[in-house]
Amino acid sequence: MTNVPASRGIRQGESGNLSGPASTSWTGQKGTPTRLLLLRHGQTALSVDRRYSGRADPELTELGLAQAAGVAAGIAAVEGTEQVSAAYCSPLRRARRTAEPVAAALGVPVADHNGLLETDFGEWDGLTFAEARERDPELHRSWLGDETVRPPAGESFAAVGQRVGRLREELLAAHPGETLLLVSHVTPIKMLLRMALDVGPSVLYRLHLDLASLSVAEFYPDGGASVRLVNGRFPVTSTVSSRA
């Protein structure tokens, strides 16, 4: 994996919670980067049961709403968030309901963008890992090792990568040197981190992103990139189980 310079601009404590702002570190790249704040949506009933959740459109659970509120309450502690100029989210409800309070806290409107949609898991949508494997054992095995394989009536990870790549190019052209909030799902966020790290598809299977977690990637006009944060979490005040 490509070595990424450590950043003091956003710090993360031992608990994984975000801490206060600090000075920006040198990255070695040229020009002002476009910074992407990559926020995964909060909890849904499908995520509680560890079910594939692609184009299904469940609402946030009570905990999911609390997670979104926790991000909104803590987002100002992340360095540079006062410079957020625009917010985009997947049009699915779990992303939109997460984005709205966070964008309101940042003082920017939210626009839907289909490029931020989750993978279409097709006929596996709503199934657990074990159920999908039992239903289509050979296909499921191939899918886990080959990003060009797609679920039945679904979308391959390679196709998601192409879609997210077009999104990235569109945003970099429209918002050069700006800071953007993107509220999406686990696969599109992993794809953007993969692009910033310039690594292969294995990262899609080895990188864990919690619900309502924040990652930060920067893309420079000279073609360079850096990842400043992965899976940063915000405190949540809720009596509901925090099971993801």
The catalytic position among 118, 147, 155, 218 is 118
C-alpha–C-alpha distance, residues 39 and 231, integer Å? 9
* 63 contacts 238 by C-beta, under 8 angstroms: yes
- Backbone region of residue 50 per phi and psi (left: phi > 0; alpha: psi in -120 to 50; beta: other values): left
- Is residue 118 part of the annotated active site? The answer reads yes
- Is residue 185 part of the annotated active site? The answer reads no
The catalytic position among 41, 113, 140, 185 is 41
**138-146: long-range contacts (C-beta < 8 A, 24 or more apart)?**
144/205
Alpha helices in the chain (DSSP H): 45-48, 62-74, 93-106, 129-135, 137-145, 157-174, 186-197, 202-206
Active-site residue set? 41, 118
